[in-house]
Amino acid sequence: MKKIAIASDHGGFDLKKSVIAQLLKEGWEIDDLGPSNEDSVDYPDYGIKLAEAIANKKVERGIVICGTGVGMSIVVNRFPGIRGTLCSDVFTAKMCREHNDSNILIGNIKLDKDFIYDNQKNKFELKKYEKIIQENLIDKILQEINIRLHTL
């Protein structure tokens, strides 16, 4: 069974629930990391939960939704091994998976639930990472980041 984690802030709650409903119909196992209602929450709490679930190998991929997607992008990409991509078009959703081994699809509340669902299913999840072609680029990015962090 395919398994994915999903989280949002209060602004993305309704869209999250819609995406979950569609994924469940397709036979996905969903790890809903919250929130459980539309009450105001601090988005970093939920971005952290999702990033930790992937970093700790509880799931391979995730979806996170907030107002603009920018805040969640900042939060999840602070974790080692996380490559979250804010996607608002089909091309980006496809390429972030194929070329960048992205493991978190980040959406915003302006996106249609069908966009997130269709791109998760058809572009993000099912596309295989082109490891041979792109692995050296990912390694280079990680090495350069480590070098620069140690020289700050």
Distance from first CA to last CA of the chain, Å, rounded?
44
Distance CA 102, CA 93 (A): 9
CA-to-CA dists, residue 3 to 6, 25, 140, 152, angstroms: 10, 13, 30, 39
Whether 99 is catalytic is yes
Question: In the numeric block, which tokens belong to residue 73?
Answer: 């992008």
- The catalytic position among 87, 96, 99, 150 is 99
Question: What single-letter amino acid sits at 151?
Answer: T
Annotation marks residue 66 as catalytic: yes
10, 66, 87, 150: which one is catalytic?
A: 66
Residues belonging to the active site: 66, 99
